[in-house]
Amino acid sequence: MTSETARLRLKTWICTAIVVFSNAFGDFFLKRGLPESAHLTGPLEFIGALFQPWVALGVVLLIVWQMSRMALLSWADLSYVLPVTSVGYVLVALIGKVLLNETITGKRWAGIVLIMAGVALVSGSAPSTVPRAVAPVGGSR
Amino acid sequence: MKWVLVVVMVGATTAGEVLQAAGMRRHGEIHDFRPGAIGRGLAALARNRYVIGGVAAMAISFFAFMKLLSMTDLSFAVPVSAVTYAMETVLAKYLLKERVSGLRWAGAALVICGVTLVSL
C-alpha cells in the first residue's frame, strides 16, 4: 500500500465515522423530539417542530452529517460511500433498542448481520475509482 | 399515506444524493479543514448547480422523512429508505461513471437484502 492510498484510507475512515455517528444520533434525537401525537399537517407546524429542543439538536447533527458526507463524496465514490455508511442502520437499530425500547426481532438481527457483511466487503476496496477531478484544489466549477 | 411518503422520500433521496455526489466530484477533494477554508468551500458549493439541486431534493426528502417519523417506528422509517441503494448504485455506474467492481455489487446486494430484512 503506497503512502497516498494509506493517507486516503485513513481520511476516509475518520470521515465515515463522523458521517455514521452524526446520522444515527441525528435521527434518534429527531424521533425523541417528535411524539406520535405530533400533527404535522401544515408548513407552519413543520417549522414550529424544528424549534423543539430535541428536534433542534437532531437537526444540528443532521447538518453535521450532510457536511461530512459532502466532504467524503469530494474524494470517495458514491458506490463506496453508500454501502460503507450503511453501518449506520445497525447503529440506528441498536439505539432504537437501547434508548427507545423498540424491539429487534430475529429478522432484524439477520438483516443487521447481512448489512455488516456487505460493509466489510466494500470497505476493503479502494474508495475512489474515478480519475482525480480536473478542478484545482479549493476551486470549483 | 405511509407508503406515499415512502415513495416521495425514496425518489427525492435518490435524485438528491446522485446530484450531490456529481457536484462534489466536480468540486474536487477537500484537503483543508480549517474554518476559513471550510467557509470558502461552502461559498463555492453554494454556486455549484449540482449541489443546489441536490440540496433542494434532499430538503423534500427530509420533510417527508420527518412526517414519516411522526407516524411510524424509527426502525421502520430508516431501513425502508434503503431501496435507494439499488437505484443509486446503478446510477453511480452509468451517470457518475464509477467502476463498480464485483466486490462492490456483492456488498451493495448484501446491504440491500439486510436492510429489507430489517424493515420487514
Number of helical H runs and strand E runs in chain B? 6, 0
- Quick count: other Cβ atoms within 10 Å of Cβ A44? 8
- Which single residue is written with the C-alpha cell 466489510? A120
**Of A34 and B26, the one with more pLDDT:** B26
The residues spanned by each domain of chain A are 3-123
Q: At what angle do helices A87-100 and A3-33 cross, to 10 degrees?
A: 30
Please say whether the beta carbons of A9 and A127 come within 8 A: yes
Please say whether the beta carbons of B16 and B55 come within 8 A: yes
Q: How confident is the model at residue A118 (pLDDT cuts 50, 70, 90)?
A: confident
Q: At what angle do helices B49-69 and A3-33 cross, to 10 degrees?
A: 40
Q: How confident is the model at residue B119 (pLDDT cuts 50, 70, 90)?
A: low
Choose among B52, B34, B41, B112: nearest CA to B79.
B112
> Percent of chain A having pLDDT more than 70?
85
Is pLDDT above 90 for B100? no
What's the N-to-C CA distance of chain A in angstroms? 32
CB interface of A with B, residues 77-136, below 8 Å: 77-83, 86, 89, 92-93, 95-96, 100, 102, 104, 107-108, 110-122, 124-125, 129-130, 132-133, 135-136
In this complex, do B78 and A130 lie within 8 Å of one another by their Cβ atoms?
no
Nearest to A31 among B27, B28, B69 (CB): B69
Residue type, B110: L
**Which H helix or E strand runs over A10?**
helix A3-33
Nearest to A70 among B24, B78, B93 (CB): B24
Is pLDDT above 50 for A141? no
A63's CB contacts (< 8 A; 6+ apart) are none
Q: What is the pLDDT of residue B15?
A: 94
How far apart CA A140 and CA A136 sit, in angstroms, is: 8
pLDDT tens digits, A65-105 = 989 999 999 999 998 898 888 888 788 888 888 887 888 88
Is pLDDT above 80 for A18? yes
The residues spanned by each domain of chain B are 2-119
Q: What is the pLDDT of residue A139?
A: 41
Q: What is the pLDDT of residue B1?
A: 82
Dig out the grid coordinates for A69 from the structure: 458526507
Nearest to B29 among A74, A81, A120 (CB): A74
How far apart CA B49 and CA B115 sit, in angstroms, is: 32
Q: What does DSSP assign to residue B95? A: T
Q: What is the DSSP string of B42-76?
A: HHHHTT-HHHHHHHHHHHHHHHHHHHHHTTS-HHH
ipTM above 0.95, yes or no: no
Please say whether the beta carbons of B93 and A79 come within 8 A: yes
Q: How confident is the model at residue A140 (pLDDT cuts 50, 70, 90)?
A: very low
Q: What does DSSP assign to residue B25? A: H
What pTM was computed for the model?
A: 0.78
